Amino acid sequence: MEVFAKARAAADDLVARIGAKPQVKPLVMGILNVTPDSFSDGGRFVAVEAALTHARAMAAAGADMVDIGAESTRPGFVPVEEAEEWARLEKVLAPLIEDVALPVSIDTTKAAIARRAAALGAAMINDVSGLRADPAMAEVAAESGAALVVMHHCAEIDPDRDIVADMFAFFDETMELARAAGIAREKIVLDPGVGFGKSLRQNLLAIDACGPLGEKYGLPVLIGASRKSFIGALSGAPTQDRLAGTLAAHLRAFSRGAAIFRVHDVAEHVAALNVWSEFDRA
């Protein structure tokens, strides 16, 4: 069997689900960090059984997919070498793909990690660098046939930056990189990159940009504001108590056209998005 056949089939199914979901039925992506230093849950799911138990719980709560990462991307994170990142992932990834009945997304900026994950059957590559960190990532995405999330980010915060114009310029370049590599356009998902090199105001504008981004590129938009620091700045809540603020931010994004939500609290998001959706159905 062709090495990426499983990934390609899983990706095709996932893309069909994303495309078939109208605005009134978004997808929820559950976060699974197998890291010791993630800002919200670092160290909790490093052990294989703990990771799998959490993934199963998210599936039971209504998650549509699981996003697994082995390198923290929080502000001030310590970069992880490829061998260490794969060592953290390898013991969890195969049983996760085989035993948990959800598509799996691999959260990495390293092409070699993405390739190995896709060879095991990962349906999606979630690259927070937006194809900038590793020149080989676009080639891996094209070759594997995996779906691809590309995220906008800024190297540093500049409060005077026109963040929406910057996003358009960034994604124009990203789409050209993807086209040149042969990545199928319908497999691309855009992420405004909440919390990545943005001021508080720019994070709010990034959430509201879901609509313009989707309209300009004709692609689904993923939003990931879960428990992030701008919510703490607005609410005064510590990291573990930011569910209410997270729900408010994600419902705002939903109203602006976001289609996929990357979250820590799956059950609460499934319930909130379902209730919100009923207003549209009514």
Is 56 one of the annotated active-site residues of the chain?
Answer: no
Paired sense of beta strands 124-127 and 147-151, if any: parallel
Helix residue ranges, H only, the chain = 5-20, 48-60, 82-99, 111-120, 137-144, 163-181, 200-208, 210-217, 229-235, 243-255, 266-281
Whole-angstrom Cα distance, residue 184 to residue 197?
A: 28
Q: Which of 115, 187, 227, 228 is catalytic?
A: 228
* Whether 21 contacts 27, CB under 8 Å: yes
81: left (phi over 0), alpha (psi -120 to 50) or beta: beta
Is 132 one of the annotated active-site residues of the chain?
Answer: no
Kindly report the number of other CB atoms within 10 A of residue 62's CB atom.
15
* Whether 214 contacts 220, CB under 8 Å: yes
* Whether 209 contacts 242, CB under 8 Å: no
Annotated catalytic residues are: 228, 262
